[in-house]
Structure 1
Amino acid sequence: MANVANKHDIVGIPGILDVHRKEFEKKKLGLRISNESYLREHPELSAMLKMFMQDVLNDYPENILEYAGEYFDDEDMQVKVDDFIRLENSSN
């Protein structure tokens, strides 16, 4: 074996055997599929993220964590999200 500090480093990833890497990739793909499915079932989440990103890029808040907390704590968020989704759907 070449000059390897970790005897399990046989695929170029320290400490991960080839069989573990394949299992990791399989689980990662499963998680991506699950996440995509969840996002499709909850279009309001995508709308909220789009709204938030647009407002962040318009406002350039100095304290992003405080801004996010106040943003998502808005009592009218449901109405704003519904309006955003309606507007998005009408423009398609």
Structure 2
Amino acid sequence: MSDQPKHGAPHGMEKYDLGGGDDLGALSLAQQADLNQFKISTRMGNERYLRDHPEVESLIAGFLGDVLTQRPESVREFAAGYFTNPSLPEKVEKQLAERQEKLKQNRVIQSLH
């Protein structure tokens, strides 16, 4: 089996849908090219959405940080409680404000160099 596709897969997806020899697997070259373009446009759309909504990063970072520090027996139950907590919006707003302050401080530090 080949270790690199011959169809220019998007970065990070090179090992998927590999067949043997000249066979790319289940898809034709045209289908694979269309799929790769779809993957690229989907990634770009996702990245654009995440840039426009920094609260998503704060929400996920806060959740993961709490999971790793508290190490709950049931992550599913912990997640249900975490994401239904009435104080979550205030927590996310605070994290966003702290992030903005750090970015501002970093810009000041960089301008001094």
Q: TM-score, normalised by structure 2?
A: 0.68
Counterpart Cα distance in 1 of 2:43 and 2:23: 24
Report the RMSD for the aligned CA atoms in angstroms.
Answer: 1.6
1:26-66 CA-to-partner distances (Å, cap 9, x unmatched) read 00000000001111111111110011111111011111111
Match of 2:44 in 1: 33
Match of 1:49 in 2: 60
Counterpart Cα distance in 1 of 2:52 and 2:92: 15
Percentage identity across paired residues of the two chains: 26
Counterpart Cα distance in 2 of 1:69 and 1:79: 17
Counterpart Cα distance in 2 of 1:14 and 1:36: 29
- Matching of residue 82 in structure 1 with residue 100 in structure 2: no
Counterpart Cα distance in 2 of 1:43 and 1:12: 42
Structure 1 runs (4+) deviating above 2 angstroms are 9-14
Counterpart Cα distance in 1 of 2:41 and 2:67: 31
Task: List gaps (5 residues or longer) in structure 1.
Answer: 1-8
Match of 1:63 in 2: 74
